[in-house]
Each structure stands twice: as C-alpha cells, then as structure tokens.
Amino acid sequence: MNQEEKPHILLIDGMALLFRSFFATSAMGHYFPNEAGIPTNAVQGFARHTMTATSIFKPTHMAVCWDMGAQTFRNDLFDGYKANRPAPAPELVPQFDMARSVSETIGWKNYGVPGMEADDLIGSFVQEWAGKADITIVTGDKDMLQLLRPGVRIAFTKKGYAVYDIYTAERFVEEYGITPIQFIDKKAFTGDTSDGYPGVKGIGPKTALKLIKEYGSVEGVIQSLHELTPAIRKKIEVDMDMLLLSKKLAEIHCELKMNDSIENLKIPVYDSVIRELIDKEGYSMIVRQADSLFFN
C-alpha cells in the first residue's frame, strides 16, 4: 500500500457510546422498547452515533471495541478499581449483547478480549497501525489522551451525534506542556475518581503537571525526592505504593495482538439487505438515520 493509499481507521469505543446513549434518553424516561418489551435506547443511540461518525470522518476502515464484563486485569492489581461504580441499570443490561449483535449485522468488525478494557484494544490497534494508517478514535474517555501521536487524533463526544472536541498530539502538548505518554504519570499522581484509585492524596493536577514537567516521570520524581518541598515529599512518601500502583492502573495496555489484516476492517456498504435486517429487529431509528445518511 503506497503513501497515497494510506488507510484511515476509525476506532469506536463501543462502551462509551452505548453508555452515553443510554443516559441521554433514560434521563427523560425514554427507553424505546421493542415488540418484546426490551429497551433499545442505548443500542439505537450507539448505532446512530457510529453511523454519523463514519459520515463525518469518512474512514476507509473501522473497528468497534468493547469491554467484556466488569472484571479486568486491573481488578487483580487493585480491588478498588472501578468498585465505586454502580451496577448498570437493569434496562441497560440486555443491550450490551444487542449492541454487539446489531453492530455485526451492519457489518462493523467488533473486538472484545476477556480481562481487557475497550481502551486496551484501541491502544493495541494504535500500536499496530500508527504510521501505517491515519487513525481517529471516537470516545468520551480522557484516558485515551496518552495514545496521541503523529497521525492519531481523538474525537471526544461533546454534543449530540455530530459535535466533537478533537485532540491531536500538537494540541495536547500545547495545552498540557507535557507529551501524551506523560499523561500516564500525571494520572499516577492525581488518581482517577471515576476509576476508583486515589493517586497521591493532596496532589492535584497543577502540582502533578509541575512535577512531570520538571522531572519527566513518576520514577524521575521519586529519584529527586530530596529536591522537593518537605510537604510534597511527605505526601509522596506516605502514598508511594499507591503512586506506583496508580501508574500501572492508568497505563493503557497496548500489547494485544489483533492479528487481523486491514482488509477485515473495511467499512461495510450499507445496502437494502442490511436495512431490512435492522428493520426486522425493530430498530426503526437506526433505519431512519441510515436512510438520511446513506440513501438521500
């Protein structure tokens, strides 16, 4: 494949879009049950969002990445990982499998690895294809900022299906003053309340950034403890184990072997056969969205 034909891969964080779609409509009590009475609000929102993303970003190839259950290798590292998150609403539970199923019906390639999060699959795709393809990641998860590099951009969901906040490596460096990979070190200090790990108590984003800019990494800070103010040194010494553990929890695992050729990631052609299959499942809003995007 020569330079002119460099593929553009769209990586969809399926979980992020599914949860976002669920909460956007369930907040108003709208679940859009199908004939069997099963809610479809998250499924239809996910598919409509993904279709719109393909029409906006115009990728040549695409993969949808999923979590496979709540238990991951990070829970083995730290019992409290995501322990503060409530169980999914009962109306959402059946929609996890339904979303993967409708995604496969449309012809999108789906990926999920037990014990891993969608982030880890997306990170592994970036590791495998960076430089060989242009990559756009659609997510709502700021953890992904660490994956930025030349040729990789992140489209953070912002409003509706079509408004995104787009980050490139250049924008990240400009805003944060560190490299994307150092975002892991920043999170090691600040922790992540939504993921349930604390980092170093009493060290916020500003101090964390200052430390990383000056010493480069968690390890660099630890080697230079004698140079820090007594107050900051004490905080780090007290929470040293959690600091090192938080770095492991914050880092996206990018070493999974996806073992798929680029041909398998080709964007499917949305045709009348697929339209009929989706319609038969009772997903009328997906059909309407597809009609407006692909048939008008």
H-only helix segments in the chain = 14-26, 41-57, 73-77, 95-106, 118-129, 169-176, 183-190, 205-215, 218-223, 230-238, 240-250, 272-280, 284-290
Band of pLDDT at residue 71, cut at 50, 70 and 90: confident
The yes-or-no verdict on residue 238 having pLDDT over 50 is yes
Contact between 107 and 274 (Cβ < 8 Å): yes
- Of the pLDDT bands very low, low, confident and very high (cuts 50, 70, 90), residue 1 is very low
**pLDDT at site 188:** 97
Which domains, ranges and CATH numbers included, belong to the chain?
3-174+257-287 (3.40.50.1010), 178-250 (1.10.150.20)
pLDDT recorded at residue 258: 80
User: For the residues 199-203, what does the mean pLDDT come to?
Assistant: 96
| CB 67, CB 35: distance < 8 Å | no
Quick one: average pLDDT of 132-147? 97
| Coil/strand/helix, residue 180 | helix
- pTM here is 0.95
The DSSP bridge pattern shows strands 61-65 and 110-111 to be parallel
Closest listed residue to residue 96, CA positions, set 70, 123, 124, 61? 70
* pLDDT confidence band for 69 (50 / 70 / 90): confident
Computed over every residue of the chain, the mean pLDDT equals: 94
